[in-house]
């Protein structure tokens, strides 16, 4: 038999006993640590994430989880009545580099930010005097030759991909180090 919502809430209230501050209908965690200042339900959803219950994880360029999105269900709102108006929305938990957690409730999950795989993907960048030419690289090895024309470097990349039978993402690295995924469709 599943635990009653009131028993689940009581369990979390006991877990943080003496470290809660009631603000309106919500209890905030005042215990020093990664959840300090967050509503008690954030601990509940953080625990769910740790147990593998989430809708989507969002990764940073280093491959670490930066955020997680979890859909708020009717069952969650029975445990946390302050979330009754948010059923069907998502709670986003954001993890800082220092391990702290913050939250935001959103109607839809955001698009996943794409990040390049610096070991697998192909990179096109500018080179030459004032960045007047393009060059493509894969595994740090040059693909084709430098060219002043974007279309020519894209052709070199397509030839390389066809020859190698390998179709990784292709990225343009700008002169400030930022990256943009580019399409090199056949």
Whether the pLDDT of residue 11 is over 80: the answer is yes
Q: What is the pLDDT of residue 107?
A: 96
Determine how many CB atoms are found less than 10 A away from the CB of residue 37. 14
For range 24-28, the mean pLDDT: 94
Instruction: State how far the Cα of 27 lies from the Cα of 29, in Å rounded to an integer.
Output: 7
pLDDT category at 119 given cuts 50, 70, 90 is confident
In the chain, where are the structural domains located?
Answer: 5-106, 122-182
Q: What percent of the chain has pLDDT over 90?
A: 71
Give me the phi and psi of 145, to 5 degrees please: -125, 165
* Per-residue pLDDT, 115: 76
- Calculate the average pLDDT of the chain: 91
> Which has more pLDDT, 13 or 62?
13
pLDDT in tens, 138-164: 988 999 899 999 999 999 999 999 999
Angle at CA 118, nearest 5°, toward 117 and 123? Answer: 100
What's the pLDDT band for 97 if we cut at 50, 70, 90?
Answer: confident
Q: pLDDT above 70 covers what percent of the chain?
A: 97
C-alpha–C-alpha distance, residues 16 and 18, integer Å: 6
């Amino acid at each position: 038999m599943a635990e009653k919502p009131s028993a689940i809430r009581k369990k979390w209230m006991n877990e943080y006993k003496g470290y809660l501050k009631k603000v309106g209908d919500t209890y905030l965690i005042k215990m020093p640590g990664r959840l300090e200042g967050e509503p008690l339900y954030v601990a509940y959803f953080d625990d769910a994430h740790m147990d593998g219950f989430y809708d989507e994880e969002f990764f940073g360029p280093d491959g670490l989880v930066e955020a997680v999105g979890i859909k708020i269900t009717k069952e969650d709102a029975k445990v946390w009545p302050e979330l009754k108006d948010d059923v069907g929305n998502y709670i986003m938990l954001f993890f800082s580099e220092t391990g702290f957690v913050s939250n935001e409730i959103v109607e839809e999950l955001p698009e996943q930010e794409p990040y390049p795989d610096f070991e697998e993907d192909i990179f096109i960048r500018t080179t030459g005097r004032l960045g007047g030419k393009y060059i493509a690289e894969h595994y740090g090895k040059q693909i084709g030759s430098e060219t002043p024309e974007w279309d020519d470097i894209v052709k070199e990349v397509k030839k390389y991909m066809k020859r190698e039978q390998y179709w990784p993402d292709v990225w343009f690295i700008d002169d400030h180090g930022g990256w943009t995924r580019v399409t090199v469709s056949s």
